[in-house]
Structure 1
Amino acid sequence: MRAPGAEAPASRRVPRTTPRTATRRPVRRWLTSYALLAPALVLFGLFVLYPLVQAVRISMTDSTGIGEARFTGLDNYARMVGDPVFWRAAGNTVLLALVSVPTSVATGFGLALLLRERLPARGLFRALFLAPYVLSGVVVAMAGRWIFDQEVGVVDRALTQLGLPAPDWQSSGAAAAVSVFVVLFWARTGLVVVLYLSALQGVDRDVLEAAELDGASRRQRVRYVTWPLLRPTTFFVVVLMVVEVFQTFDVVRVMTGGGPAGATEILVTYAYAQGFQARAEGYGSAIGVVVFSVVLLATVVAWWVQRDSEEVA
């Protein structure tokens, strides 16, 4: 027992924190955090933020890439309102997103459930599904162009052998749009499969076994247990696929070039045609800014919907 007035042992002394020390700690943490983030922030500024600012600036000029550009304000954006080709490209882009995103998500989820089971050569199938996404978009588009070629295409030969009429893939608008959709579906679904496979590894087996003991069938377990647990993954996949659709360029450019008669023209290919072929850089940049704004708005809205649904749950 320590006598009154005696000092506490050195090992039991608690160092006092002065106000100055308490103030320095958050500052040090703040500086350390931003020092670690500095390389990524610099790269983001150089390759994302600066080009975006430049695109907005050019979109308010009549730049042609040659000579001095004159500031025109919002004239390029007003031009879009009366441009029927722009609205057709916008409609094609939205239609492609509405068709391809749900199809890729549903198919990818189903294939992920199948590949989760113990199947022979399961690893090989996983690699085959991801291969089109890993390959260059130009390579995939060239393969798709050969497959759907009107003269020597595999699809036309197979249809002819079956006694069915072969569509004019390069000269018919509807057929060209179908060919682009099929190639994009083939190229993008593999990524969805891999993302869902990774998410399925994190599903608690005990929850599924408890549902099975309660009498839930396999279909009910997928619908009421697995699918709700994968909601964050589904949100990420949907946003990613929407962004992919709005950024699609190489497949459409190589396969159809936006034709025939603009049937497969989408916003990105139209912006390229205006900026680099028609030499209307200002107008092409304005279309690019609109695409970026739409994708950003869709992402924010989807994020708000996802957050509200999680709060309700």
Structure 2
Amino acid sequence: MATYSPHQERHPNMLRREHREWLLFVLFIGPNLFLFSVFTYWPLLYNVYLSMVRWDFLRPTMPFVGLQNYIAAFSDPRFWNIIWQTATFTIWSVGLTLVLGLLLALLLNQRLLYRNTARAVVFAPVVMSGAVVAVVWSYIFDPRYGLIDQLLSFVGLRSPNWLVDPFWAMPAVIIVYVWKNIGYAVVIYLAGLQNIPRELYDAARVDGAGAWERFWHVTLPGLSPIAFFLSVTSILSCFQAFDLIRVLTNGGPADVTTTLVFHLYELGFVSYDAGKAGVVAVVLFLIMLALTIVQIRYVERQVTYG
């Protein structure tokens, strides 16, 4: 006599339910995947193709040249100098943003008069246009009538020609970039500081820990996920910084402020060389991808969660 099993009746129903769930999943993910494919993945693949052709945006034909554009780029000393300048700009900008942002966050986390107003003032440059910020700072840097020159004149000093002197041009760009983006780091740090349990500080005080020991053993480990997130996003943002450089120095003087993304603009929209511009875009993408992978695989191991 055959035995009855309830699974025999439920099995078709489970299959139909799984099919409905998969259909619902496809309906939800399909539009997003389509948009990503059209506006992200396809341009990326097409850019790789453009890096292997010779095209000036005008000719109807695009002769395939293989790796000749890559060979020409990697054999050009100017290209390697631009990579070095991009690294210099990124290291200093990210480092100053993270360190100064943390110090400001620690200050604005105290019970201060008009604390909320100060937080709003610090964050305001983040939402401003980069071009507008650069125009304002170009007047501040003016060696004859700028604010910096007026302040230095009180102690008998003269302001350097920030945006024309090759020695001071890169520091000027870094100063403006940090000033514009430090508010974002401050807000993220403040959110992390307010999520650190107060019981940890109380326990540290009971154990006799001073202010420095509490900062080193409680605050920094509690902020490590925040610092990791900011380091990743800040590095990616630095590699894409364009508007400030375009308005402040236009890549000069003598290419000292030319970064990879600005070099991409020069090749693509000034020289109209799609092939060489494609090479720079591919190199920029690979560098950003490699840095992100290294950060996620190795730096994140030092992060303390929970």
TM-score by length of 1: 0.89
State the SS of the aligned residue for 2:49.
Answer: helix
Assess if the C-alpha contact under 8 Å between 1:150 and 1:170 holds in 2. no
Cα offset, 1:17, TM superposition: 6.4
Cα offset, 1:149, TM superposition: 1.9
Confirm whether residue 61 of structure 1 aligns to residue 53 of structure 2: yes
Counting matched residue pairs gives 300
Structure 1 residues 40-55: aligned runs within 5 Å = 40-55=32-47
Once the two structures are superposed, what CA deviation does each residue of 1:279-309 show, in whole Å capped at 9, x if it has no partner? 1111012101111110111001100014434
Larger radius of gyration: 1
Runs of 5+ consecutive residues of structure 2 not aligned to the other structure: 1-5
Q: 1:243 aligns with which of 236, 239, 244?
A: 236
Provide the C-alpha distance between the structure 2 equivalents of 1:303 and 1:267, rounded to a whole number of angstroms: 23
Assess if the C-alpha contact under 8 Å between 2:225 and 2:305 holds in 1. no
Once the two structures are superposed, what CA deviation does each residue of 1:146-183 show, in whole Å capped at 9, x if it has no partner? 11123332212322342113212232111111111110
Aligned to 2:26: 34
State the SS of the aligned residue for 2:288.
Answer: helix
Once the two structures are superposed, what CA deviation does each residue of 1:182-224 show, in whole Å capped at 9, x if it has no partner? 1011011111001111122221122222122211112211111
CA distance 1:209–1:32, change in 2 (3 Å): farther
What amino acid sits opposite 2:240 in the alignment? Q
Provide the C-alpha distance between the structure 1 equivalents of 2:91 and 2:305, rounded to a whole number of angstroms: 27
What amino acid sits opposite 1:159 in the alignment? L
Q: 2:13 aligns with which of 18, 21, 35?
A: 21
Q: 1:89 aligns with which of 78, 82, 92?
A: 82
Aligned to 1:234: 227
What amino acid sits opposite 2:239 in the alignment? F
Confirm whether residue 305 of structure 1 aligns to residue 298 of structure 2: yes
Give identity over the alignment, percent.
Answer: 35
Aligned to 2:3: none
Aligned to 1:136: 129
CA distance 1:98–1:310, change in 2 (3 Å): closer
Q: 1:126 aligns with which of 119, 130, 149?
A: 119
Structure 1 residues 108-257: aligned runs within 5 Å = 108-257=101-250
Assess if the C-alpha contact under 8 Å between 2:192 and 2:226 holds in 1. yes
State the SS of the aligned residue for 1:140.
Answer: helix
Provide the C-alpha distance between the structure 1 equivalents of 2:167 and 2:86, rounded to a whole number of angstroms: 14
Name whichever of 143-152 and 133-142 sits farther off.
143-152
Q: 1:271 aligns with which of 251, 260, 264?
A: 264
TM-score by length of 2: 0.91
State the SS of the aligned residue for 1:230.
Answer: helix
Once the two structures are superposed, what CA deviation does each residue of 1:59-92 show, in whole Å capped at 9, x if it has no partner? 1111111112111112111111111221111111
Cα offset, 1:120, TM superposition: 1.2
State the SS of the aligned residue for 1:234.
Answer: helix
